Amino acid sequence: MSVMRIIRLHMCAALVAASAVAACGGASDATGVSPEKTCQQDPTQAKCVVVTPVDTTSLRTLAARSNRFIGAAAGSLFGTNPTFDATLKREFNIVTPENSMKWSSIHGVSRAVYSFDAPDALVAFAEANGMKVRGHNLAWHNQNASWVTNGTWTAATLTDVLQEHIATVVGRYKGRIAQWDVVNEAIDDSGKLRVAESVWGRVIGPSYIETAFRAARAADPDAILAYNDYSLEFPGVKQDSAFALLQRLKAAGVPIDQIGFQAHFQINADGSGVPSKQALIDVFNRFAGLGLKVAITELDIRVRTSPAASAAELAAQTNGYSTVVQACLAVPACTTIVTWGVTDAASWVPGTFPGYGDALLFDSAFNKKATYTAVKTALGG
pLDDT in tens, 342-379: 999 999 999 999 999 999 999 999 999 999 999 999 99
CB 358 within 8 A of CB 316: no
Q: Which residue is catalytic, options 91, 98, 233, 298?
A: 298
Reduced to 3 states, what is the DSSP secondary structure of residue 60?
helix
pLDDT in tens, 301-348: 999 999 999 999 999 999 999 999 999 999 999 999 999 999 999 999
Quote the CA–CA distance of 293 and 217 in Å, as a whole number: 16
Is 197 an annotated catalytic residue? no
pLDDT in tens, 272-287: 999 999 999 999 999 9
pLDDT in tens, 84-100: 999 999 999 999 999 99
Q: Which residue is catalytic, options 98, 185, 233, 313?
A: 185
CB 190 within 8 A of CB 177: no
CB 363 within 8 A of CB 343: yes
Closest CA to 74 of 59, 89, 61: 89
User: Could you give the domains of the chain?
Assistant: 3-51 (no CATH), 59-379 (3.20.20.80)
Which residues, in sequence order, are CB contacts of 295 under 8 Å at separation 6+?
134, 179, 226, 258, 259, 260, 261, 334, 335, 336, 337, 338
Quote the CA–CA distance of 194 and 206 in Å, as a whole number: 9
pLDDT in tens, 32-78: 434 445 555 555 565 666 666 778 999 999 999 999 999 999 999 99
Is 298 an annotated catalytic residue? yes
pLDDT at residue 219 in the model: 98
Quote the CA–CA distance of 341 and 346 in Å, as a whole number: 7
In whole angstroms, how far apart are CA 13 and each of 20, 40, 46, 47, 133? 11, 16, 10, 12, 58
Quote the CA–CA distance of 186 and 172 in Å, as a whole number: 25
